[in-house]
């Protein structure tokens, strides 16, 4: 082989390797590759899910059964939430987190009753959220906080908005400094100083789902109101309690639509999952260190 031919062969090889490297790097950031990566992650999530919880987390569900039992129109009176909170405190709940946006003033006596219950409990997280608003000049998303009366009484505001992937699935752990799950963990650490918590999920971490349904115990809202002190302690003592909607059908038009989400278990669960189930999973990921760390592009390249 001539020197020219030898040089040409090596230049062509180098170009081929370089183009292959560029194609691999580019594929990591192109939507088709990302979509394939997401589906692969979903499949692995379903296969690896333990199907059970290892943490003391209980869900208090605002569900069809409770709507039927209480015969109340939504939104429910704040005095009813006050009664629920008092009973959870009687049961010894470590943290009570309401995944319900309580931003507007209602009947003053009802609001004062709930504020008093918050003050007595001393361990309450209330959801903040991004809500859509239209004005004459703009359409925008704005952050909506709980009623100041409730935060003045000691409730901690936690942003309950969950990020959606382009396919509208929930896979990412919210990264805000005051995310709902972070506030739950912070209060738990105050209430249980001896609790050892691993490093919290880093930016870009993804949810490690535990299963389709039945992972965390669920107590319908109305049953908490009717339970005996002994039953309350048996169900809630020392536990993280997340209160919120867990509906399959909306008792009132549009009420449930915004709190149901697609997850990797959409087929196994028979549909969408409620926000309280997702928040419970994120809190558990934080307490166990089980969140999925995103692979770095270079690490993914070297693994190929």
Each residue's pLDDT tens digit, 132-186: 777 777 778 889 999 999 999 999 999 999 999 988 999 999 999 999 999 999 9
Tell me which residue range forms the domain holding 128.
49-288
Where does the pLDDT of residue 26 fall: very low under 50, low under 70, confident under 90, or very high at 90 and above?
very low
Report whether 265 contacts 212 (CB < 8 A): yes
Q: What is the mean pLDDT of residues 265-284?
A: 92
Phi-psi region of 204 (alpha: psi -120 to 50; beta: other; left: phi over 0): left
Confidence of residue 190 (pLDDT cuts 50, 70, 90): very high
Exposure class string for 155-169: b at 16+ Cβ within 10 A, else e: bbbbbbbbeeeeeeb
Q: Do residue 15 and residue 115 come from a single domain?
A: no
Can you say how many angstroms the Cα of residue 284 is from the centroid of all Cα atoms in its chain?
Answer: 10
* Percentage of the chain lying above the pLDDT 70 cut: 82
Sign of the alpha-carbon torsion through 17, 18, 20, 24? positive
State the Cα–Cα distance between residues 119 and 152, nearest whole angstrom.
Answer: 9
Q: Which two tokens stand for residue 158?
A: 């936690």
Mean per-residue pLDDT for 230-257?
Answer: 82
pLDDT for the residue 203: 87
Residues 34, 70: one domain? Answer: no
DSSP 94: S
Give the model's pLDDT for residue 301: 42
What contacts 195, CB < 8 A, 6 or more positions away?
Answer: 188, 189
Q: Do 32 and 71 reside in the same domain of the chain? A: no
Return d(Cα 108, Cα 117) in angstroms, integer: 14
Contact yes or no for 207/170 (Cβ under 8 A): yes
Average pLDDT over residues 195-218: 94
| pLDDT tier at 252, thresholds 50, 70, 90 | low
CA Rg value for the chain: 24
Mean per-residue pLDDT over the chain, rounded: 86
Q: Are residues 57 and 84 in the same domain?
A: yes
User: What's the pLDDT score for residue 294?
Assistant: 74
Which has the minimum average pLDDT: 8-17, 44-53, 150-159? Answer: 8-17
CA distances, 111 to each of 79, 106, 147, 149, 157 (Å): 7, 6, 9, 8, 17
Check whether residue 53 and residue 193 sit in a common domain: yes
Q: Is residue 212 part of a domain?
A: yes
Q: What is the pLDDT of residue 136?
A: 72
| Gap between the Cα atoms of 147 and 215, Å rounded | 32
Q: Are residues 131 and 265 located together in one domain of the fold?
A: yes
pLDDT tier at 258, thresholds 50, 70, 90: low
Q: Within this chain, do residues 29 and 105 fall inside the same structural domain, yes or no?
A: no
Confidence of residue 67 (pLDDT cuts 50, 70, 90): very high
Shared domain for 120 and 196, answered yes or no, is yes
Exposure of 139 by Cβ count < 10 A (0-12 exposed, 13-18 middle, 19+ buried)?
Answer: exposed
Q: Residue 58 in contact with residue 235, Cβ under 8 Å?
A: yes
Residue 102's nearest CA partner among 135, 125, 68 is 125
How many domains does the structure of the chain reveal? 2
Say if residue 199 is in the same domain as residue 244.
Answer: yes
4-18, 183-197, 256-270 — which is least confidently predicted? 4-18
Q: Which of 90-94, 104-108, 205-209, 269-273 has the lowest mean pLDDT?
A: 269-273
| 158 and 146 fall within a common domain | yes
Residue range 208-240, pLDDT digits in tens: 999 988 899 999 999 999 999 999 999 999 999
pTM for the full predicted model: 0.85
Residue 116 belongs to what H/E stretch? helix 108-121
| Amino acid 20: pLDDT | 44
What's residue 300's pLDDT? 45
Report the pLDDT averaged over residues 30-51. Answer: 80
Is the pLDDT score of 2 beyond 80?
no
Distance CA 64, CA 137 (A): 39
Please tell me the predicted confidence (pLDDT) of residue 218: 98
β strands within the chain, DSSP E: 57-62, 95-99, 124-134, 139-144, 156-159, 218-220, 240-245, 260-261, 273-274
Let me know if residue 298 belongs to a domain.
no
- Which of 280, 165, 160 has its CA nearest to residue 213? 280
pLDDT of residue 58 exceeding 90, the answer is yes
Half-sphere exposure for 74 (CA within 13 Å, toward CB): 18
Task: Decide if 301 is inside a domain.
Answer: no
The answer to whether residues 143 and 125 belong to one domain is yes
């Amino acid at each position: 082989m001539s020197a020219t031919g030898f040089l040409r062969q090596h230049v062509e090889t180098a170009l081929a390797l370089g183009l292959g490297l560029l194609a691999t790097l580019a594929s990591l950031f192109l939507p088709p590759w990302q979509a394939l990566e997401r589906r692969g992650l979903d499949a692995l999530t379903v296969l690896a899910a333990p199907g059970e919880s290892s943490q003391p987390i209980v869900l208090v569900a605002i569900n069809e059964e409770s709507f039927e039992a209480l015969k109340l129109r939504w939104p429910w009176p704040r005095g009813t939430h006050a009664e629920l909170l008092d009973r959870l405190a009687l049961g010894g709940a470590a943290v009570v987190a309401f995944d319900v946006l309580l931003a507007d003033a209602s009947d003053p006596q009802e609001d004062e009753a709930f504020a008093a219950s918050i003050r007595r409990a001393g361990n309450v997280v209330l959801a903040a959220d991004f809500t859509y608003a239209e004005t004459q000049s703009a359409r925008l998303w704005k952050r909506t906080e709980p009623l100041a009366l409730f935060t003045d009484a000691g409730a901690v505001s936690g942003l309950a908005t969950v990020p959606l992937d382009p396919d509208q699935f929930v896979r990412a752990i919210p990264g805000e400094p005051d995310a709902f799950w972070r506030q739950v963990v912070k209060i738990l650490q105050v209430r249980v100083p001896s609790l050892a918590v691993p490093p919290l999920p880093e930016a870009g971490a993804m949810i490690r789902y535990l299963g389709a349904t039945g992972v965390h115990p669920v107590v319908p809202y109305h049953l908490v109101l009717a339970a005996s002190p002994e039953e309350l302690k048996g169900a809630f003592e020392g536990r993280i309690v997340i209160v919120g909607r867990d509906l399959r059908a909306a008792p009132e038009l549009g009420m449930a639509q915004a709190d149901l989400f697609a997850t990797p278990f959409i087929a196994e669960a028979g549909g969408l999952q409620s926000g309280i189930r997702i928040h419970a999973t994120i809190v558990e990921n934080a307490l166990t260190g089980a969140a999925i760390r995103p692979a770095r592009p270079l690490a993914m390249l070297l693994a190929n």
